[in-house]
Amino acid sequence: MVVIQVDDGSIVCVDNLTPYEQCVKDHGGNSSWSDPDKTCSCIEDGSVSCKDLPTPYEQCVADHGGSSTWTTPDTVCSCNPDGSTTCSDLPDPYQQCLDAHGGQSTWTTPDSACSCNPDGSTTCSDLPDPYQQCLDAHGGSSTWTTPDSACSCNPDGSTTCSDLPDPYQQCLDAHGGQSTWTTPDTVCSCNPDGSTTCSDLPDPYQQCLDAHGGQSTWTTPDSACSCNPDGSTTCSDLPDPYQQCLDAHGGSSTWTTPDSACSCNPDGSTTCSDLPDPYQQCLDAHGGQSTWTTPDSACSCLEDGTTS
């Protein structure tokens, strides 16, 4: 028991208070109370537990299910830093869909093509494989031409284009690189504009000439050929290239023109270089020496390249 003297001087006996009851009594009979920046409460052991009050912004977020933004049927709202809220009218559903996709009514993901519907919903469908897309974009064809290029679809869906050859070159390419060719009864040729002209085949000998650029004789890399009167051809092996070069230059492997010195190479080609001045030629012809002796004379190069 606890003896308490009340205000009128009388004595009152009361039971001992528990720690919790004492805490409540000490705080004006309240088990919980608030300060400007925290809320407190008495706990069973008589101690006090306090926690900071949320900021106005935190309270706003808490009041709306932990979200700083929310919608009603016709508005979109958000919490401001001071705890107040701002609301604005919702755009129409289609506009919302556009805004959610960067203002675009159609867009793609790695494997689908999507679009906004008038009610704001979206529709997506699987993308075709890239090569098929390329075909579909060009009328189902894997190759096509523009006025100045030839294009084709690549397996990855990309396209490759190259300049078209001029019409004459196209005609050549269409006939194995030949400007003239024959069918069983005609001879044809490519015209400069890419068109072709065909006429009845001439006699066999003329056919042979026409088939070889109008020439009655010609060479291949390893033979010399000629047209026979019956239109057949006769070919014989060419001499070896080096020998051909020698034969073409009077049997000599070296020769000079007015301004160069030339020689035959083992493959039959020729190499030419500018001639040095006459005096230098004389020096080169005598091992770089301007004077030399033979068994019976002493010689020297003169300025004009002659010797004395």
Per DSSP, the three-state class of 242 is helix
> DSSP string of 33-63?
EE-SSEEEEE-TTS-EEEEEPPPHHHHHHHH
Structure token digits, residue 296 = 């019976």
Closest CA to 282 of 256, 269, 301, 265: 301
Give bridge partners of residue 256 from the DSSP assignment.
Answer: 261
pTM value surpassing 0.85: no
Which residues in 124-153 are b (16+ Cβ under 10 Å) and which e?
A: eeeeeeeeeebbeeeeeeeeeeeeeeebeb
Distances (CA, A) of 304 to 63, 258, 279, 299: 115, 15, 6, 14
Residues in the chain: 308
Taking only the tens of pLDDT, the chain with its 308 residues reads 555 454 566 665 656 889 998 899 888 889 998 887 888 999 999 999 998 888 889 889 999 999 999 988 888 899 999 999 999 887 788 988 999 999 999 998 888 889 999 999 999 998 878 898 899 999 999 999 888 888 999 999 999 999 877 888 889 999 999 999 988 788 899 999 889 999 887 788 888 998 999 999 998 888 889 999 888 999 998 778 888 898 889 999 998 888 888 999 998 899 998 877 888 878 888 898 989 888 999 999 998 888 88
Phi, psi at 15, each rounded to 5°: -65, 155
**Contact of 58 with 81, CB cutoff 8 Å:** no
User: What are the two backbone dihedrals, phi and then psi, of residue 147, each rounded to the nearest 5 degrees?
Assistant: -55, -30
Domain coordinates in residue numbering, the chain: 2-82, 199-238, 239-275, 276-308
Element containing residue 198 per DSSP (H, E): strand 196-200
